[in-house]
Amino acid sequence: MKKARVCGLACAAAVFAVLTSGCMHLTSVEPQPLFTASEVKHLIPFTVSFDGTLSYDPDSGPLEYVWTFGDGTTDTGPVVDHVYRQDGVYEVTLTVRDERGLQGSASLHVEALNPPPVADFSYAPKSTLNGQLIISASEWVTFDGRSSEDDEDVVAYEWYFGRTDSGEMKIVEGPVVTCRFRDPGTYSVILTVTDNDGASSKCIQEVVVLGSSPCNADLCVEYPWLYVE
């Protein structure tokens, strides 16, 4: 009887030791980062609001918030705003750290889009007839695209005045070009401008040409419909 009691005490002591040992070796869990973004794709410049308040610590401790925005800048705090001024794809990362130094990270991508240039042009000389702008057949006309705008630089200007008599498309390059039209009619003049990031846009204006087709010898050239100097 005495022997059985001793065994029972020994077994109870062993169970207590196991339970005590288990409590002393509980594994701490990393904090869980969660965040939202007000914008993930937009034309520059634009501001994104990031909210990391959904992040949590399974051990219910306070969290430290560190943000990296993919453009070399950082910030701290549960809610932050960041402005993107250059186009590109950026990886945004939120790292949350608890008071024991454990941390977790989550990321998403923000796409900052390059705004296209705004194509625009004027031409001269021109006159007004019955409220309509006109030019004369065979008259030299200067087309100027330097009023086109971009957030950085316009690097290419391409003009389309129509096809030649043979059907070939005629494209002329440069911010300022001079041409004349042989035949009267209404022509769609198209300027395409391209910026240094490869974005482009077009400006189309209807040009009214009045008069009669000339017979001058100097107009009998390779492009009998359009003459560019």
Per the document, the length of the chain is 229
Q: Which residue matches tokens 């809610």?
A: 79
The token pair at 229 is 């100097």
Q: What is the DSSP code string of 76-90?
A: ESSEEEEEE-S-EEE
pTM for this entry: 0.66
Check: CB of residue 134 under 8 Å from CB of residue 210.
yes
Question: What are the Cα distances from residue 14, in Å, to 26, 59, 120?
Answer: 19, 29, 88
Alpha carbon 32 to chain centroid, angstroms: 31
Q: Which residue matches tokens 């003049």?
A: 189
What span, in angstroms and rounded, lies between the C-alpha atoms of 16 and 10?
A: 10
Backbone angles phi, psi at 5, to 5 degrees: -65, -40
What are the pLDDT digits (tens) for 116-157?
A: 999 999 999 877 777 777 788 778 899 999 999 998 899 999
Structural domains of the chain, with CATH: 28-113 (2.60.40.10), 122-228 (2.60.40.10)
Q: Is 101 left (phi over 0), alpha (psi -120 to 50) or beta?
A: left
Check: CB of residue 111 under 8 Å from CB of residue 43.
no
What span, in angstroms and rounded, lies between the C-alpha atoms of 126 and 123?
A: 7
What span, in angstroms and rounded, lies between the C-alpha atoms of 229 and 220?
A: 14
What span, in angstroms and rounded, lies between the C-alpha atoms of 83 and 117?
A: 21
Residue 171 one-letter amino acid: I
Q: What is the pLDDT along the chain (229 residues), one digit of tens a residue?
A: 444 444 443 333 333 333 334 444 445 689 999 999 999 999 999 999 999 999 999 888 899 999 999 999 999 999 999 999 999 999 999 999 999 999 999 999 999 999 999 999 999 987 777 777 778 877 889 999 999 999 889 999 999 987 666 667 778 899 999 888 877 888 889 999 999 999 999 999 998 888 776 655 455 454 444 555 5
Check: CB of residue 228 under 8 Å from CB of residue 179.
yes
Strand partners, 177: 143
Which residues are CB-neighbours of 228 under 8 A, at least 6 positions away? Answer: 161, 170, 172, 177, 178, 179
